[in-house]
Amino acid sequence: MRIVEDIAKNIAHVRARISQAAAQRGRDPDEITLIAVTKDVPGEKINAAIAAGITDLGENRVQEALKKQREVVAPAKWHLIGHLQRNKVRHCLTNFALIHSLDRLSLAQEIQRRAAQRGVVVPCLVQVNVAGEKSKFGLAPGELEPFLRQVAAMQNIKVCGLMTIAPYYDDPEAARPVFRRLRELFEQGDYPAGVSMQYLSMGMSNDYTVAVEEGANMVRIGTALFGKRQN
């Protein structure tokens, strides 16, 4: 039962740091959702996390997520946080509580087309590449408004907020301007009707305290909960 104890301890530690960062800004820590990122994590550890109170799980790849959804013993909310290929969209319409990686118009069009066929509405966050890194997906900040206008017209997609992945810095303070910029976009306000800016998904193991200080209400954490990934 070592695994269960270790993971429970990690979760408690991360939650304590989230609470501390929230308190610094006078925020209620309960408004921040801790998403445990389970990529390359075996089912046994995921079940340990659920036993220790985790309710939300994040996966990068669709097939891996679907496989794990069958392995876990308790119901959880699954978040798709990785880049989504159009040919996988049909698997994502009802299997995820939230897709964090809506990052291009062609993807939005495919989600809309498939979701309309199935008669479902798919909740999505728009991924913004705030720092403009070549290696990352997401819209440039300046593309966000026109994109939201186009997606707002798609009846079977519900935009519920924004997501970003900050560049990796040894000093997480360096990521603060990235998080602040996303928060500004989140709060900007004059978005089309139907767009509801409810979730701000930012912060990973290395930088989540800074992200919470800057307003994140969803953090996506893998390594700090489950240890270093094997590959």
Ligand X SMILES: *Cc1c(COP(=O)(O)O)cnc(C)c1O
Q: How far is the CB of 149 from ligand X (least distance, A)?
A: 26
39 binds ligand X (CB under 6 A): yes
> Alpha-carbon distance 117 to 138, whole Å?
26
Contacts of 21 (CB under 8 A, 6+ apart): 208, 209, 210, 212, 213
Helix (H, G, I), strand (E, B) or coil at 75: coil
220 binds ligand X (CB under 6 A): yes
Contacts of 133 (CB under 8 A, 6+ apart): 167
Residues recorded for the chain: 231
From 18, 37, 148, 200, residue interacting with ligand X (rule: CB under 6 A): 37
Size of the residue set binding ligand X (CB under 6 A)? 14
124, 99 Cβ separation under 8 angstroms: yes
Nearer to ligand X, 15 or 113 (CB): 15
Which range binds ligand X by CB under 6 A, 20-28, 112-120, 131-139, 220-228?
220-228
> Alpha-carbon distance 32 to 20, whole Å?
12
> Alpha-carbon distance 16 to 39, whole Å?
23
Nearer to ligand X, 154 or 172 (CB): 172
Q: How far is the CB of 193 from ligand X (least distance, A)?
A: 29
Nearer to ligand X, 89 or 154 (CB): 89
Among residue numbers 161 through 200, which ones bind ligand X (CB under 6 A)? 165
From 41, 81, 84, 160, residue interacting with ligand X (rule: CB under 6 A): 81
10 Å Cβ neighbour count for 45? 18
Which range binds ligand X by CB under 6 A, 15-23, 65-73, 185-193, 216-224?
216-224
Q: How many helices (H) and strands (E) does the chain have?
A: 8, 8
> Alpha-carbon distance 169 to 221, whole Å?
16
Q: Which residue is nearest to ligand X (CB)?
A: 222
State phi, psi for 101 to the nearest 5 degrees.
-120, 40
211 binds ligand X (CB under 6 A): no
17 binds ligand X (CB under 6 A): no
Among residue numbers 85 through 144, which ones bind ligand X (CB under 6 A)? none
From 204, 210, 211, 218, residue interacting with ligand X (rule: CB under 6 A): 204
Interface residues toward ligand X, by CB under 6 A: 37, 39, 60, 81-82, 165, 204-206, 220-224
